[in-house]
Structures are given as C-alpha cells and as structure tokens.
Structure 1
C-alpha cells in the first residue's frame, strides 16, 4: 500500500448519491488493494446521513477518503449543515460506531460540518 492515497467526490444530495458513493468507493479501494467491505458500508451510512439530516436544498456534499499505511482508511463526509450530531446515535450512526475503529464529527468551514470514520487496515 502506498504511504498516502486520497479520493474525493462532490455529490448532489439525492437518494442515488449514497449508492453512487458506495460503488465508486469500492472501485477506488479495490484498485488500491485496500479491504473495502466495511469502508463501503461506512460510506453508504455517512452519505445517507448527510442526505437525510445534513441536506440544504441546492447544496452538495463532499466525500473524502484517504488511506495511510500507518493509520488505515479515513472517510469524511462534509455536508452543508453546520449542526453537529448530539445525543444517542441514530440507526445509521450506530452502524458507523459498530463498524469503525473511531468516528466523530467536527465543524467544517462555516456553515459546514465533517462527519468522519476511521478503519485500521
């Protein structure tokens, strides 16, 4: 595995976007020789969350994936709504919590937020 690989997509906040993000993630990670099953599920859940809870009409969201030989896979979804999730995880974020080694959210460039998850390879 190369020391640092990255992949980024700008997607419309539509129901098809989570599926497209998942398919493109599988192909990208496969081409890098990185295990993709859990990462693909995390991408689908984080993107669906951005579409459902972070959607602002007319605004896209971004998917960023990076792979570092020493840290593993990091998935970030940046959506246009700045409010950070609080309280008990909803169903999708509970899946993210179960599959990832670490996850969280941080404020992004205003008014955005970043929800991220990490997997060790």
Structure 2
C-alpha cells in the first residue's frame, strides 16, 4: 500500500496530511516566489489568516532557507526544491539545494557590525525546530518546522 492509498485511520500519527513539492530557479526571484507560495499554501491548508504569527513565521523562515539555497547552495543551471508538508500539529518547510558539501555552519551570535550571516540565527529563533539532511552526493536539505498555534491578542 502506498502512502497515497492510506486512509486517515491507517495513517501513522506523523504522516503528512498534505504535501507539495516545487522547483524554483536559484535566483532572488525564485526565493521570493518560494516564500510567497509557502505562505499561500500554509494559509490555505491551515485556515489561519495571512497575518497570523505562524504565517509570518513561515514567511520569514522560508525566505531565509530559500535565500541561503540561492546564495550558498546553488550551481549554475540548477534549481532548488521547496517541499511543504502539513503534519497534524506543525508545518514543515524543506529547501533542497545542489551543494551537499556546503553544510550550514553552527549558529553563533555575530558582532553587531556584521551585515550578513544572521539567516540561520533567525531560523533558529523563529522555527520550533530545524536541521539539515544530506541524502546523497548531489543534494542537501535544510528544513524547519512551525507549530500550528495562534496567539490571542
């Protein structure tokens, strides 16, 4: 039985409720489109408003992951892939690029005069969890998850 043939009753607790995979050009425009699509898909799947805290977090984290893939993980003529996964209690964003040898560095605080290098610090601060995975000699995936919760003001 394939994943698509499973009924809701037969799905394991962490099985994705929904999943989407898309490829984008390794350009600033591709990163921007990935961010916009992630937020649009998040709001459609969860029913949470576009201006909710979780939707804003999805926008910020996806923007950082996608821009890192463009800036540090691209090879000429190679796209990056955005995978969006809705799980029962969280939303997962995965960005796969073509530079497995360029793993994200450990997250450290940067001096205040630095103008770059804070992207993963932002991801670590806003995402509930994040990490990286190298599946093969050609790609790596950096992922982050946001819990599905709202705060009442």
Is 1:96 aligned with 2:123?
yes
Q: Which has the larger radius of gyration?
A: 2
- Equivalent residue pairs, number: 119
Unaligned runs of 5+ in 2: 1-7, 9-15, 49-53, 109-116, 149-153
- Write the distance in 2 (CA, Å) between the matches of 1:66 and 1:87: 25
Q: What do the CA deviations read for 1:21-53 (whole angstroms, capped 9, x no partner)?
A: 111112111111144210111111100000000
Q: What do the CA deviations read for 1:57-111 (whole angstroms, capped 9, x no partner)?
A: 11111000101113x0111000000122223353111110010011111103321
For residue 111 of structure 1, what is the aligned residue in structure 2?
A: 138
For residue 39 of structure 1, what is the aligned residue in structure 2?
A: 58
Is 1:82 aligned with 2:100?
yes
Contact 1:10/1:63 (8 A) holds in 2: yes
* TM-score for both structures, normalised by structure 2: 0.72
Considering Cα pairs closer than 8 Å and 6+ residues apart, tell me whether 1 or 2 has the greater RCO. 1
Runs of 4+ that moved beyond 6 A: none
Which of these residues, 7, 26, 29, is aligned with residue 13 of structure 1? 26
Taking only aligned residues, the RMSD between alpha carbons, in angstroms, comes to 1.7
Q: Assess, with a 3 A threshold, how the Cα gap between structure 1 residues 39 and 58 changes in structure 2: closer, same or farther.
A: same
Is 1:29 aligned with 2:42?
yes
SS of structure 1 residue aligned to 2:35: helix
Unaligned runs of 5+ in 1: none
* TM-score for both structures, normalised by structure 1: 0.90
Contact 1:78/1:108 (8 A) holds in 2: no
